[in-house]
Amino acid sequence: MTNMSLEKSVKGQFAIVFSDSDWKFFKEMAGHSFSEAAFLKKSDFKRVPVNRRLLVRNSRKRLLIGIGAELLLKAIYLKGGYCINKLHQPPKNCGLKIPFKPADALAAGLTLDATETFTLSQLIDSLNKVDGLKTVPTDGLKIARVFRNKEGHVVTMAHAFDPASFRAIEKALISLYQNAFHECLSVRFSVAPNENAEWETTPQPCA
């Protein structure tokens, strides 16, 4: 088996055209990533040398936040009835741009690619086009994307910690949970010493 056919075979194991009914599972899995990121401690990495635990913990937190952000946005698109799968071999200038619904693809005679979904960048950039979604501060989502990309591609020995980055992500998530899911979110990604972590959602109205 060639490398290309091997890769295609493995991708096929996860191939699926997602439907609007999948949004709850995406949201659930996003929540697990966010919750783990919020409460993760250095002591959770007992198999890591002591002098590397802070570095590894912070790296894992950033990666989980980035993963959670992508899953949450896909939940929002699916909940709104939009496709998260890309088009399969669309013709040039087909005119169908994210966000679109299955009926739009069908009317254009196009099919969805079961092996490819929209990127986090595409999801963020088109979020303002989702029907019924109020203005969301996207700076935090862009930071989450940077976190995910950095941790997935490189490692660094040091990082200039800026708590404002985490506060911006928290602000974006609070807005998304309120506007898209009608839930009140209490969130704090514990990073600084003695910082209390929070992750809890409750139905609106918020206290």
pLDDT in tens, 113-150: 999 999 999 999 999 999 988 888 899 999 999 999 99
- φ, ψ of residue 186 in degrees (nearest 5): -105, 115
Dist. CA 113–CA 84, nearest whole Å: 10
74: in domain: yes
pLDDT at 119: 97
Q: Average model confidence (pLDDT) for the chain?
A: 94
pLDDT digits (tens, 9 = 90+) for 5-15: 888 889 889 99
User: Which pLDDT band, with edges at 50, 70 and 90, does 81 fall under?
Assistant: very high
> Mean pLDDT throughout 96-107?
96
CATH code, 60: 1.20.120
pLDDT at 134: 82
Q: State in Å, rounded, how far the first CA of the chain is from the last one.
A: 59
Dist. CA 128–CA 136, nearest whole Å: 8
pTM value is 0.94
> For 163-168, which contacts have Cβ atoms below 8 Å and span 24 or more sequence positions?
163/191, 163/192, 166/191, 168/137, 168/139, 168/140, 168/143
pLDDT at 207: 61
89: in domain: no
When divided into structural domains, the chain yields a total of 1
96: in domain: no
Give the single-character DSSP code of 134: P
Which carries the bigger pLDDT value, residue 204 or residue 30? 30
177: in domain: yes
39 has pLDDT over 70: yes
